[in-house]
Amino acid sequence: MSTDSSASGEQPVETTDPGSVDADGAPFLQQPDDGSGHLELAAELRRLRGLVAGSTFEDVHDAVATVRELSDHLEKVGTRVNPFTYETWGVPEHIGANPAIGSRNPISPPLEPVVFPDGTVRVELTLGIEYQGPPGCVHGGIVALLFDEMLGLANAAAGSVGMTADLRVTYKSPTPLLQPLRIEARQIRTEGRKIWTEATLHTGDTLCARTEGLFIEPRGIRDEDRDKPIEG
């Protein structure tokens, strides 16, 4: 286990030396638990999210009052993060808030990636009704979100960061809810600031979707500038 100083600030997010992984891959970009209960709160809200999106109710006005009270409480006791003041892409506050991988964001599944020695990044996950598009199927926009993130992670595993310039998703077969899914991503090649990355999404042996992305490394983050904040 090491820290990625190329894309991280003073509080780097832990990454892994791909050479040290076993056959199951090694956890990648693990997000620290600060012991505050924040991660448990996010996990409980994920449960709530599934219940709210996936249930019908006779009368839940009591629950509305309870949740409003909770929101008021969190507004009082929390310190708000300013998204415009992150030092780099790699700080835990940045990763933790991400809608796909963020352990502190109840919207995220979250993704829990592992990395392999060849740079392939893999996640295994199962999505509930709160991600539904067509009946019983994952929403195509959610598939695109997960792909975009996975391509970004494959870039990070290869030691680069890029803004998505072009993302092409081919949907081959419906992506089922409530079934184990597997997404694998890898960087294909780079040319100057351009980065090409691809990924697939399977359930069992069935290919549900695949993607190819073009990413552009932000100006000001190359070589000796890698530790500086990203500037357009």
Ligand X SMILES: CCCCCCCCCCCC(=O)SCCNC(=O)CCNC(=O)[C@H](O)C(C)(C)COP(=O)(O)OP(=O)(O)OC[C@H]1O[C@@H](n2cnc3c(N)ncnc32)[C@H](O)[C@@H]1OP(=O)(O)O
In the complex, minimum distance from the CB of residue 13 to ligand X, in angstroms, rounded to a whole number: 6
228 part of the interface to ligand X, by CB under 6 A: no
Q: What is the DSSP letter of 88?
A: S
Q: Binding segment for ligand X among 40-48, 70-78, 192-200, 221-229 (CB under 6 A)?
A: 192-200
Do 91 and 153 meet the contact criterion of CB atoms below 8 Å apart? no
In the complex, minimum distance from the CB of residue 153 to ligand X, in angstroms, rounded to a whole number: 6
165 part of the interface to ligand X, by CB under 6 A: yes
How would you class 219 by CB atoms within 10 Å of its CB: exposed for 0-12, middle for 13-18, buried for 19 or more? exposed
Query: What CA–CA distance (Å, rounded) separates 113 from 48?
Result: 24
162 Cβ neighbours under 8 A, 6+ residues apart: 152, 155, 193, 195, 215, 216, 217, 218
- Subset of 28-87 contacting ligand X (CB under 6 A): none
- Which one of 219, 220, 222, 228 is in contact with ligand X (CB under 6 A)? 219
Decide whether 135 or 192 has the Cβ nearer to ligand X: 192
The count of residues in the chain is 232
Decide whether 137 or 187 has the Cβ nearer to ligand X: 187
Q: Give me 86's structure tokens.
A: 């992150």
In the complex, minimum distance from the CB of residue 74 to ligand X, in angstroms, rounded to a whole number: 26
How would you class 57 by CB atoms within 10 Å of its CB: exposed for 0-12, middle for 13-18, buried for 19 or more? exposed
Judged by phi (left if over 0) then psi (alpha if -120 to 50, else beta), residue 178 lies in left
Decide whether 19 or 192 has the Cβ nearer to ligand X: 192
In the complex, minimum distance from the CB of residue 81 to ligand X, in angstroms, rounded to a whole number: 16
CA 93 from chain center: how many Å?
Answer: 13
90 part of the interface to ligand X, by CB under 6 A: yes
Decide whether 129 or 139 has the Cβ nearer to ligand X: 139
Query: What CA–CA distance (Å, rounded) separates 35 from 40?
Result: 9
- Which one of 138, 156, 183, 221 is in contact with ligand X (CB under 6 A)? 156
- Which one of 7, 26, 201, 208 is in contact with ligand X (CB under 6 A)? 7
- Give the count of residues interacting with ligand X (CB under 6 A): 20
Binding footprint of ligand X on the chain (CB under 6 A): 4, 7, 89-90, 148-149, 152-153, 156, 161, 163-166, 192-194, 214, 216, 219
